[in-house]
Structure 1
Amino acid sequence: MSGIFRWPIRVYYEDTDASGVAYHANYLRWFERARSEWLRSRGRSHTVLAEQHGAAFTLARVEVDYRRPARLDDLLDVAVEVAERGRASLIFAQTLHRAGEPGAVLATARVRVACVDIVSFKPRSWPTGWLDD
């Protein structure tokens, strides 16, 4: 699970407040979408995890540091990297910046997701091979 995955996001009118600045909660949506696309890029999906393994990703913790505002019509790049891997959890390090400006970090996030049984919602180990490169 090495490497950084990147996903482009555009800031639309619906994402902004009256001043044309992206509403803070949208950063969480963008981070989530990038994690989902990271999973797809690995040939896996939330649907397969649930239907074939009886498991699901669930958000356990998220920390976001907002540094600069995203604005209407910005093209953004969301980076996803697995920072830590546990028996039943992953910690993602994520960065959001304007496309083409990797030094202009808009926000960073540290996100812990857990693998849980979809019936009991108790933690369980990742399915065999699920997180292998």
Structure 2
Amino acid sequence: MSKVFHHPVQIYYEDTDHSGVVYHPNFLKYFERAREHVINSNALDKLWREQGLGFAVYKANMIFQDGVEFAEVCDIRTTYKLDGKYKTLWRQEVWRPGAARAAVIGEIEMVCLDKDKRLQPVPEVILDSLQINEQE
């Protein structure tokens, strides 16, 4: 896996359910935001506009170990690696302030697709951006 990237997420009231705890699907949004910061949203936009290539979630697995509450600022910790020519694996964790373990763990598999939704190799520009060595 790669080095750990950190992305802060403020928990707003709108993110929570009636008990003040984050509604579970919102963690997927937090993970998406963190991945965009790792890859660089401008690079993703350029890749789509110029080459018609983008990324889609192929598989997502989440483990919920602790509730995350309104008004907390959590740290999304992200690592990734290449899995073959077409897929990247992302491990993302939500850490509450001062916690001894991750509140939520996500394992996300992303694939590269063209505009016709056909599988494509992860582009060199993304491999370079992520500093992924295909020999890993």
Match of 1:110 in 2: 107
Match of 1:12 in 2: 12
Q: Secondary structure at the match of 2:103?
A: strand
Q: Alpha carbon RMSD of aligned pairs, Å? A: 1.7
Amino acid at match of 2:111: A
Q: Secondary structure at the match of 2:126?
A: coil
Q: Report how far residue 124 of structure 1 moved.
A: 0.6
Which consecutive aligned stretches of 4+ in structure 1 deviate over 4 angstroms post-superposition?
none
Q: Percent identity?
A: 27
Q: How many residues align?
A: 129
- Alignment partner of 1:52 out of 33, 37, 50: 50
Question: Could you list the runs of 5+ residues in structure 1 that have no partner in the other structure?
Answer: none
Q: Report how far residue 91 of structure 1 moved.
A: 0.7
Alignment of 1:84-123 (within 5 A): 84-101=82-99, 103-118=100-115, 120-123=116-119
Match of 2:37 in 1: 37
Q: Work out whether residues 36 and 45 of structure 1, in 8 Å CA contact, stay in contact via their aligned partners in 2.
A: no
Length-normalised TM-score, structure 2? 0.87
Match of 2:80 in 1: 82
Q: Work out whether residues 5 and 80 of structure 1, in 8 Å CA contact, stay in contact via their aligned partners in 2.
A: yes
Q: Report how far residue 29 of structure 1 moved.
A: 0.8
Question: Could you list the runs of 5+ residues in structure 2 that have no partner in the other structure?
Answer: 132-136
Length-normalised TM-score, structure 1? 0.89
Amino acid at match of 1:105: A
Q: Secondary structure at the match of 2:45?
A: helix
Q: Work out whether residues 39 and 126 of structure 2, in 8 Å CA contact, stay in contact via their aligned partners in 1.
A: no
